Amino acid sequence: MTRKGFTLVELLIALGLAMALSGSIMWVAVATTRIYNSSVAMVELYSRLRYAFTIMENELARMRATCDMEFFVDSQASPDKSNRHWDEKEEIDTPVNLAGGWGPETYYHEAPEIVERYYIQVDRRGEETPRPAFEIYFRGPVMLGGKMRQANIEYRLVKADDLVALLATAKKGAVLTYSRSSLPPVARVATGTELSLIRVVRYMERDIETLVRTDLKSLMRAHVSELASNVVEFSIEYYLRNPYGVAGSGVRGAKAGWFTPAKDYGRGAVELPTYRTQDGGGEIYIKEFAYGSSRLQPRVKPPRGIIRKGIKVDPRMPSGNPVLPYFYVSNLKFAELGIGDTIYIWPDMSSQQPFEGGEFTIRNIANGRLSFAEPIETSSWRNDKTGLRYKAAYLPHALRVTMVISDREGKLAHRLERIIRMATKTNT
């Protein structure tokens, strides 16, 4: 009796088929795992983007137009000068209050601002690419500790290692004393996984027990959190319009569109220019949303305006309506203000004119001439050369926020852009 079996050739063919089948299964498994991991990374990336934009959209839409943004004590410098507005030396002088936005840690910010700056990203081949690392600093309502608070909020990019080191001090039981130097601006990074977008909230802890305290510095609080990690780019554009054209440039016709502080600088400027300066070896541009503020660039003389007397009847139309007194600033149209907005006008300390400053509600705007709902004294103005100081905050019509983040390996990057419209533009 003979036994039948497989020949060597048959065994080799079967083994080859088994290896081919096993390889196909392995290839499918590896490809499936790769697709799964990529999908998980994409879902995580989108989740992080959605989380960051949910917070930013909610807070930026409720931004307040103010010229007294940071915390101060009215009439602290002079008890008889109480005016409900910030004056020199009235600020609560602590880095927790003053270190937000651009400038030194003793700088008082009057109005919301956007800072345009860039950092250098160095890839594996040593090529350098400038990337936007914008900052925005504003005031608005925020929910913290179960309470709705009016706080100053800041979004900006920092190195993840610096953020971890700062938050580690708070975990050890120390009080978080955030300042600009503890989280310096980003200048140069090697990969796309080194940066984090942070949210800094500054507020004053006020309750029944602390209302009687005079040491207001001890009531200032700073809350730092990470909105998104592995951020590659962060930029903010603002939409403004100036129906009068660009003041002082000779350009006629409407001027509207999306601007960055750099685009807003020089020939492309809308009604109010931005400021350019050097910081950390790089050039930066700052846009402050206010008329009349002189804090951002102290080298420029404080802006001045005058109050023109009203006349009973327009001489060109003897039977026409009376002309009200109006406030006027040369080469300024106040295009971003509207009826119902307020402007604070006051005399300079060096002025000898007996004009009493105050807050006035805009009743009408005609070619940059502001008339008010409240009566305003003009009879004392004779040959005035110093003019009146003024400040009025405003908000852009909308913000366009763009962010690029990468996965944990720095390979997969995604860009998301959102347009955020202001809930209100009024500064009252």
What's the pLDDT tens digit per position in 187-227? Answer: 888 876 689 999 999 988 875 444 555 677 778 888 888 99
Does position 172 have pLDDT exceeding 90, yes or no?
A: no
Tens-digit pLDDT profile for residues 371-425: 888 887 764 444 455 577 888 999 999 999 999 988 777 777 888 999 999 887 7
- Is pLDDT at 173 greater than 60 in this prediction? no
Q: Which of the four pLDDT bands, split at 50, 70 and 90, describes residue 357?
A: confident
Instruction: Evaluate if residue 233 carries a pLDDT over 60.
Output: yes
Most confident residue range from 42-51, 119-128, 326-335, 383-392: 119-128
Section 63-90 average pLDDT: 78
Mean pLDDT of 224-248: 82
CA distances (Å), origin 342, targets 35, 136, 316, 391, 401: 57, 24, 31, 9, 28
pLDDT at 64: 93
The structure tokens listed for 369 are: 């001439």
Average pLDDT for residues 64-79, to the nearest whole number?
A: 79
Query: What pLDDT score does 347 carry?
Result: 76
Closest alpha carbon to 398 in 417, 380, 413, 411: 417
Q: Residue 399: its pLDDT value, please? A: 96
Domain range summary for the chain, segments of one domain joined by +? 14-289+399-428, 306-393
Torsion of CA 330, 331, 333, 337, to 10 degrees: -80
Residues 296-314 have a mean pLDDT of: 56
**pLDDT at 421 (0 to 100):** 93
- pLDDT, residue 96, reads 81
Q: Tell me the average pLDDT across 333-347.
A: 86
pLDDT surpasses 70 at 323:
no
Which is higher by pLDDT, 101 or 322? 101
